[in-house]
A and B are shown apart, each in its own frame.
Chain A
Amino acid sequence: MTAMLNVKDLRAYYGQVQALHGLSFALNEGSLTTLLGANGAGKTTTLRAICNMVRSTGAIEFEGKSLSGRSTENVVRLGIAHVPQGRGTFTTMTVEENLQLGAITRSDSKNIVSDIERMYAHFPVLKERHTQQAGTLSGGEQQMLAVARALMLRPRLMLLDEPSFGLAPLIVRDLFKILGKINREDKVTILVVEQNAQLALELADQAYVIETGKIVMSGNAKEIASNEDVRKSYLGY
């Protein structure tokens, strides 16, 4: 079985500083994979490199197509949705406009309306607030909006950058439940970067551990969770 996303020898740079040192990994279609690592290990950079938001070298292939040299928006147009850190909410626009923006590249305007309804079914709180300015939402609501906005693309692959950041634990559980559901029911392949390793490993079926810009461990999420080193470094017991 060929991988949906294939990353080989990825190196990324911020100015003169190298942040990724030859990273390789692959995602299978339909999988839910998590990328674990300490602060500064290069998780966010990996996601940004996939979308060509940082200068990088190496090969990234998505469904057989090379991503190198494509602008960010053209990567997105292939069906890769990226929920950035900090959520990237368009705060001065309404919730509904944010959702419409998620579908801005689609031309099937009829389905967009029904997709917005589907998002409201996933996240009822967004329906309640659909005419409100997105900036007035709470952190958790904004994160849901960000996920919903990404799904409006009808992505084949969704990249999530620390969705739990700054959210109350209960909300995080809810959110992760929904992510699992989206992965199973909508067949969206998901790559999630997380600091909350425990939750991420419960949710995911595959996991990679990244340290100072390199993959140091990979495998089945359950195996990784039971690994002594991972337990000590990331799970704290």
Chain B
Amino acid sequence: MGKFIAGKLLQYLIVIFLMLTLNFLLPRLMPGNPLVFLAGEDVGFMSSAEKEAILDKYGLNDSILEQYGAYIKNIFTGDFGYSYQQKRPISELLMERLPWTMLLTGLGLVLSTVIGVMFGAISAWRRGTRTDANLLTVFMFLSAMPSFWVGMILVSIFSAQLGWLPVFGAESAWSNYTGMDRLIDIGKHLILPLATLILISVTSTFMIMRYSMLNVLGEDYIMMAKAKGVKEKVIKYKHAMRNALLPVATVFMLSLGFTLGGATVIETVFAYPGVGRLMFESVLSRDYPLIQATFLIITFSVVIANFLADLIYPLLDPKVGSRNG
């Protein structure tokens, strides 16, 4: 058990180390002036004193190992550098954007899991029927649609054509709403991005729940319960669904990476002020330090979620813990 966790921890530390190194090397290995990657394409307009100041700040005149040491130290003290495009420290920008992304992806994950589990159970319970086939087809189609396009279509219908919901942002600008009004305003802005995120990420939970439920329904204890004359509802909810939920729990955490990636694109469509949108803005303005910082933050979140899933899983499934030692 302890060995299993330690192994996983080591693996995640390696991932973080590799990604940090990649981030460090990218601006230094690319052909051309590394200054462009650190300070943006405006370097052409900078005076040589300004350039010297930036070279000094990033220690580009030092040896590569010294640079690397300083870089790692900065990251772990929360200093992600400075965005020359937005003229602000990057850590400040990230802190401002993170809550919105957490709200969107957090709710998205929970809701898509609940919906996926429900439909997955129904599909498995009625395997081989019309309902099962229809649900499978619908969910397959959902997973084949590009996320940003789903978002665009929803905006076209519900915002532009029907005028029911706001088009972009996380809340109305300059509205000065307070208390309940502000919450309602935020909620209205959240509906469409959230719906998009759920639509594109629900299929994986559905498929896994269906598969796992099919396996459980084939177990002897279900047959036994049926033979004993236990009510169908009790078998379905108490015996089958509960046990089938196990694999879903791991997928919940593991799909965080996918959901965060999806959120990057969805936030862009809705101009939702999260980390993903920040990444897009930084790509547009070729703000390289900011692209790197947003990438690191997303990677950190995913790695932490993966590790949490590994910690929780043995608690849910005693077999895993004992098997590994």
User: Do chains A and B interact in one complex?
Assistant: no
